[in-house]
Amino acid sequence: MSSRWIPLESNPDVLNSWSNKAGLVPLVQFDDVFGLDEALLTMVPQPVKAVVLLFPISPESEARRKQEDEEILSKGQPTLDPTVFWIKQTISNACGTMGLIHAIANSDATLKPESPLSKFIDQCTDKTPEERAKLLETTPLFADIHAQAASSGQSAVPTNLDTDLHFTCFVAAPSAGTGPGMRVVELDGRRNGPIDRGECTDLLADAAKVIQEVYMGNSQSMQFNVMALGPAAKD
């Protein structure tokens, strides 16, 4: 990867700080998902527009990732809506910003005109995921926002920037295959492209099921954190 940023801390204050600076109109915000059982999911403000997961990288998870990527390459997957906005990650530790861009750009959340994120999405029109990655490397729009958000967390900025934690994102997208319907799509810049995770009837509940089955069910780690993009609390 071409350069390295400070890792983002996984808490709503940091993600909302980034989002507001990037241009998200604060009618929606990120909130903690305190658990993945049905009772705790009902506490999350609805409707959920995107789900962001922080998970630990391990040799076992890397092996599963490579196996799944190879299976998708050889066997294919359901055709995904071509309008899904995805970027290949080429900046080390930028997965937090990548997750936020993926979450917001693939929702119907309103962006302020001429804001950094609005400009970036416009500039990415008709570009490949790799060209978008190059644009993210070279544009000044997000490096400062990422650094400010990373420095606003509750923990001290680490001197060692190596991390074994990674952000990924889940959104709902229309099916591009035969028949109507929505699909749960995982967007992770380290993968080869967007990943179809199955039928979507309730994004939060369906993403929670994927997180439990694909990530938490194969790990003994407690270093997971889930946040949802949804309506902001009214004053």
Active site residues: 95, 166
Q: Please say whether the beta carbons of 177 and 78 come within 8 A.
A: yes
Would you state the structure tokens that stand for residue 186, as one six-digit string?
């995982």
Q: Please say whether the beta carbons of 40 and 129 come within 8 A.
A: no
Q: Please say whether the beta carbons of 199 and 184 come within 8 A.
A: yes
Would you state the structure tokens that stand for residue 229, as one six-digit string?
């993009």
Distance (Å, rounded) from C-alpha 181 to C-alpha 38? 23
Whether omega for the bond prior to residue 231 falls within 30 degrees of 0, making it cis, is no
Distance (Å, rounded) from C-alpha 100 to C-alpha 95? 8
Instruction: Count CA atoms within 13 Å of residue 225 on its CB side.
Output: 16
Q: CA angle at residue 82 from 2 to 228, to 5 degrees?
A: 70
User: How large is the C-alpha radius of gyration of the chain?
Assistant: 17
Would you state the structure tokens that stand for residue 90, as one six-digit string?
């080429």
